[in-house]
Amino acid sequence: MTKSQRMEFGYNPPSGERGRETIRPREYLADLHDALDVAAQGFDSIWVSDHLNYSNEWRIECWTLLTWIAARYPNVGLSTIVMSNTFRHPAVMAKMAASLQELSQGRFVLGYGAGWHQGEHRAFGIDLPSPGPRIDRMEEAIQVIKTLWSDSPASFSGRYYSISNAHAEPRPNPVPPIMIGGGGEKKTLRVVAKHADWWNDIARTVPELRHKLAVLKKHCEHVGRNYDSIRKTVSMGIFIHPSHSKALEMARLRGSAAPNVIAGDPVAVKEKCEELRSLGFDLLIAYFNDFQDTTQMKLFIDKVIPQFA
């Protein structure tokens, strides 16, 4: 296989049941160790999802898990995919992120979003505004976070949040990039254009991704932002096997729609990554359907990642 354009890869381990992997609560810590030991050998970064509970499933809280990973794996980047603004006051989030950036020696990227799952908000007694105000709150929250990271003391007065002479010492150095997750075309992508350093989108077909990028570019033009200054990232499941037909069958059996996952032998998987790279995505955040068996992850690390180094 010939070398491709530079692309980075992140691994998104499960923090609980999400309809993809099998979670064994009693063995979860050992399973996580095994998966991360492999991932740390080839992936650039580890990404943790932020949910409390979809229903009654077993689940570890996002920030607790991320700090555990930060302490045990010192050579990978750390991020969230993505923190829900509704779960934590943004000023507290800014302090948490600044502290982790200090303790991890600059390895953190703040993945941030507006929140979306009604069930967990209702169960935990957390208000979930309608989509419009929810995006407005997220936009204001990002301004609070940035203010606390840059000013000391920091003050901000907005419609939803305010701080007065607050200190987030030690202020982060370097300042973590802020990655906004979401593909809403009217509001979310406008906020990305105005405030994000990075953008993350979910698995979609190539035409759908191309359309989202075009919408983001229009928002950038409207607000006077350099479109190329925003890093584009995408999250996708990987089904890889030395046999191309076997990989497709694995994806089919898991109920994964072929256009929205990457499935195939190493050559086919590399070609799909190249297609994403040609669109402008230079970071792929991957999950694998088998949490206990790292065979697919090892094959991806051995045969695909080196082609984008």
DSSP secondary structure string for all residues of the chain: ----S--EEEE---SB--SSS---GGGHHHHHHHHHHHHTTT-SEEEE---S-SSS--B--HHHHHHHHHHH-TTSEEEES-EETTTS-HHHHHHHHHHHHHHTTS-EEEEEE----HHHHHHTT-----HHHHHHHHHHHHHHHHHHHH-SSEEEE-SS-EEEEE--SSPPSSPPPEEEE---TTTHHHHHHHH-SEEEE----HHHHHHHHHHHHHHHHHHT--GGGSEEEEEEEEEE-SSHHHHHHHHHHTT--GGGEEEESHHHHHHHHHHHHHHTEEEEEEEES-SS--HHHHHHHHHTGGGG-
On the question of pLDDT at 257 being above 70, the answer is: no
pLDDT of 258 higher than 90: no
Sign of CA dihedral 23, 29, 30, 34: positive
Give the pLDDT band of residue 254 (cuts 50, 70, 90).
confident
| pLDDT tens, position by position, 126-170 | 999 999 999 999 999 999 999 999 999 999 999 999 999 999 999
Provide the mean pLDDT of the chain.
Answer: 96
With tokens 């109920």, the residue in question is 255
Q: How far apart are CA 20 and CA 159, in angstroms?
A: 39
Q: Is the pLDDT of residue 259 over 70?
A: no
The whole-number average pLDDT for the span 269-281 is 97
pLDDT digits (tens, 9 = 90+) for 98-114: 999 999 999 999 999 99
Please give the pLDDT value at position 256: 67
Q: Percent of the chain having pLDDT more than 90? A: 94
Say yes or no to pLDDT of 253 above 90: no
Is the separation of the CB atoms in 131 and 184 below 8 Å?
Answer: yes
Q: CA nearest 100: which of 90, 89, 110? A: 110
Least confident of 51-55, 103-107, 144-148, 259-263: 259-263
Q: Which domains does the chain have, with CATH numbers?
A: 8-308 (3.20.20.30)
Mean pLDDT of 62-70: 98
Q: The whole model's pTM is what?
A: 0.96
Q: Residue 255 — pLDDT band, cuts 50, 70, 90? A: confident
**Given the structure tokens 């939803």, which residue do they identify?**
160
What is the Cα 123 distance to its own chain's centre? 24
Contact 16, 117 (CB under 8 A): no
Query: Who contacts 172 (Cβ-Cβ below 8 Å, separation ≥6)?
Result: 97, 98, 101, 102, 106, 108, 149
* Residue whose tokens read 């790292």: 294
Which segment, 128-142, 242-256, 258-272, is predicted with the most confidence on average?
Answer: 128-142
How high is the pLDDT of residue 308?
A: 97
pLDDT of residue 118: 96
Residue 242 has pLDDT above 60, yes or no: yes
pLDDT of residue 4: 76
